[in-house]
A and B are shown apart, each in its own frame.
Chain A
Amino acid sequence: MIKRFIAAFHKASPHVKGESPWARAWRRFIRHRLAMAGLLFFGVLVILALLAPYVGRYPPNRIDLRNAFSPPTWEHWLGTDGVGRDVWSRVVYGGRVSIAVGVSAVSISVFIAIFLGSVSAYFGGWADLLIMRVIDIVMSIPPLVLIMALIAIVGPSLRNTILTIGFLGWPGMARLIRGQILALREQEFIMAARASGIPPYRIILRHLLPNAVAPLIVAGTLRMASAILMEAALSFLGIGVPPPTPSWGNMLQEAQTITVLESYPWLWVPPGIAIISCVLSINLIGDGLRDALDPRLIL
């Protein structure tokens, strides 16, 4: 994908001597130590999640009532939870769910944002008016309340969690894209493209978006972090991923009493560390991307 952007960029812009901005950005990124650490760690989490069936030692939903609340042993590396399920397996499978929620929700947001944002900025006029108003509408409702209402209507499920979080995220990014494209629209190379009769969709796809996409990459990365946190918050309210499917958020929810906090730390420390470190690494990556692509970006 990156290669295609680079190629498109080369085709569209006046010929630049020396290395491309993307390569320069990549070099800047590599220099950012924390961001690289974040990338590495996130990579490890993703691999663990993908290999869950092999890494987890028990089926994550298998209940063993007589063995509940067992502390970490050789049998159960991270102990068992309130109904005897293996915590390690649940953390690993939960990673699948949480990361999937993060990635899918953001993909949905980005897709909608790119489409609506570019249409809005490029065509202007009524389309822009309408889309900006829709953005205003969605943004003016407190997010948690909107999600609560939506989930009350459609019922809690993994799919609905992804859809609602995704639906919440697009307005901010759409505005971003719109701002970028508005600024680019008046540049000479775009005017040249328009004058030479290239159809709008091509201008958008091949000329405008590749240049506008940088802040979106950063925003998307950061939104992934907040999507994972949002999933945890929804689980706290009881409207997140429904049992028995594990997610880091709903595993943390089991720890919502002082007793568990104090007496059974293996129930909340692993998912807590997992969320914090996953979100942390994503944030570090995002920070690195921002430094690499354009340090001036305010997101």
Chain B
Amino acid sequence: MMRKAFLAALILVMPVFAFGAGDSETYVEGWLSGCGTEGSLWTTCTHRLDATVNQPLVAITWQGGLQPLLAESWEMLEGGKVWIFHLRQEVKWHDGVPFTAKDVVFSFNAYANPRAGSRWTSKVADILGYDEFQAGEADHLVGVEALDDYTVRIELKEPMPLWIKVKQTYVVMLPEHILGNVPPEQWRGHSYWAHRVGTGPFKWVEYVPDQYIKLERNEDYFLGAPKIKYLIYRFYTDAASAVAALENGEIDTTAYETTLIGLDEVERLDSIPGIDIVVMSKGMPNFLRLNLKKSEWADVRVRQAIRYAIDVDTIVDTVFAGYGKPAYTVFPQEWAIPDGLNKYEYNPDKARALLEEAGYDFNRKIELLFHYKDAVTRRALLAVQQYLAQVGINVELRLTDAATLHALQETGNWDMGYFGFGMGVDPALAEQLLKCGTIESGGYCNPAVEALFAKGVQYTERDERVPYYHAIARIANQELPQIWLWYAVRPLGFNRRVVGPYEHWAEQKIIYFNMPVYQEIEKWYIKD
């Protein structure tokens, strides 16, 4: 009797799933649980909403260029010290209120406001009046000024021709009429983030915590109403479930903010009809960061020994299935890498010799901290552990979470960690990694490098910038402030029934983290 009931239930239920979740009107993207309602000012993983619901004035495109969005055009004056933005005039917020210069002034101030505590405040730090605002001496940014309803003037502290690409593209426009009257301390938990009002191609419909966010096309979008009617972001905690969801049609695209598809899965997934995989460069090196405040790691011979001891080529060939490349210096961009760098060919004997020369204590037991949960990283680190053990360096691998990682680094209670650092948009972003006094530098301090970075952003023409970055690259290669291992890659999965995502990501090649990217989403459509 129970058997019959079971079968009956099964039969009833089966037809419902013949079609899977995405129908001809709905495009479904997989996303990470926990990212959905983080505000733009503080998040590291919610930037998709900054491209579909909210927008910046000018966005970076998937090809690495610039797309005017809320600013129709702009002018660069005084060699990059003053910027005039001419705003688009027919634009309304999703609730009908017109978008004007007031919103622009409000938004830039929001990022700079010390009471808001934005983690992206460094993106507006070059604007005149920022330091006074942060110190509490001023109550707004004097460098941002509305000349009239549709013109905004921004003055920087110093000329910076790259400012629009390297900094402005991170700043997203927020509605002054909603958040303007709310005290900045209360912005973070405000209900706005659970029901955003923006100017972008999609409008917010509903949010079900830990399940999904549903967006609907904005018929009045200034670049044309999107062809797709509904956009749903579905949340996943477990990587295997997200991949299974891609396979059975529950989602059309996997998330890019974290590794969901392992490199060993690429072949199998790609061979499934209708599903294609793009292996994106993460635009970042993966490296071992050492606590340079400890004397044993401060010795450059020890660091070089470590690099000689690891057979990076084999790891890239086997664990990474040939994807990705060995890294000899900090920058991922080809144009920033000079010739003649030391390739640190695998040489365990030389490594041991260097260690003995430096007087390394082989009895030390150290922990290699890391936070990546995926299997491929784990295998790579297992290999690293074995290579190091072969030259006498004994490490224990320890998976930690972000909170513990940060705490340990702050207290100085650590030796070695495996990290990445996003700098895909431009090598200038690597500055934080090699800057004196930051946690990311691990204690490295070289004023020559800081000066080179400062010079590098003073020019717009790539040819003029090359010599500075080459110089930094050489120092990074010789001194190994962090031990560069390989350039990271991340596979993304696409269901080809939607035309647009695969095509744009395949052309994009590098993942731009922590910023909205214009990918012509209004032109994407679903094949019947």
Contact = CB atoms under 8 A, between A and B. Distances in A.
Q: Do any beta carbons of A and B sit within 8 angstroms of each other in the complex?
A: yes
Given A65-B315, A82-B375, A242 B382 contact: no
A152 interface: yes
Contacts of A263: 268
Interface string A234-251: 000011001110000000
Interface in A257-276: 257-260, 262-263
A258 B262 contact: no
B331 to A, nearest CB: 27
Contacts of B506: none
Interface string B259-270: 000101100110
Interface in A208-246: 238-239, 242-244
B267 to A, nearest CB: 9
A257 B243 contact: yes
Contact of A61 (B318, B375, B386): B386
A257 B244 CA distance: 9
A254 B262 CA distance: 12
A256 B375 contact: yes
B526 interface: no
Interface stretch (B208-216, B223-231, B393-401, B426-434): B393-401
A65 B314 contact: yes
Interface in A14-71: 61-63, 65-66, 68-69
B314 A258 contact: no
Given A82-B264, A257-B240, A259-B268, A65 B383 contact: yes
B35 interface: no
A69 B264 CA distance: 10
Given A155-B398, A156-B398, A243 B386 contact: no
A66 B314 contact: yes
A257 B399 contact: no
Nearest to A253: B375
B382 A83 contact: yes
A258 B247 contact: yes
Interface in B342-381: 373, 375, 378-379, 381
Contacts, number: 71
B404 A83 contact: no
A242 B398 contact: yes
Given A66-B314, A243-B397, A244-B385, A259 B265 contact: yes
B239 interface: yes
B319 interface: yes
In terms of DSSP, what is the predominant structure of the interface of chain B?
helix
Interface residues of A, number: 25
Interface string B409-421: 0000000000000
Contacts of A83: 319, 379, 382-383
A93 to B, nearest CB: 15
A244 B265 contact: no
B157 to A, nearest CB: 42
A65 B404 CA distance: 31
Contacts of A258: 240, 243-244, 247, 265
A180 to B, nearest CB: 38
A63 B382 contact: yes
Contacts of A65: 314-315, 317-319, 383
B397 A257 contact: no
A257 B383 contact: no
B262 A63 contact: no
Contact of B240 (A63, A82, A243, A256): A256
Given A61-B386, A259-B265, A238 B399 contact: yes
Contact of B399 (A63, A242, A256): A242
Contacts of B398: 155-156, 242
A63 B269 CA distance: 27
A62 B318 CA distance: 16
Contact of A257 (B239, B315, B404): B239
B389 to A, nearest CB: 9
A153 to B, nearest CB: 9
Interface string A176-200: 0000000000000000000000000
3 smallest A-B Cβ distances: which pairs? Answer: A259-B265, A65-B318, A63-B386
Given A62-B386, A256-B239, 19 more contacts: A65-B314, A65-B315, A65-B317, A65-B319, A69-B264, A82-B375, A83-B319, A83-B383, A156-B399, A238-B399, A243-B397, A244-B385, A256-B240, A257-B240, A257-B243, A257-B262, A258-B243, A258-B265, A259-B268
Interface of B: 239-240, 243-244, 247, 262, 264-265, 268-269, 314-315, 317-319, 373, 375, 378-379, 381-383, 385-386, 396-399, 401, 404
13 contacts: A61-B386, A65-B314, A66-B314, A83-B379, A152-B404, A242-B396, A242-B397, A243-B397, A257-B240, A257-B265, A258-B247, A262-B268, A263-B268
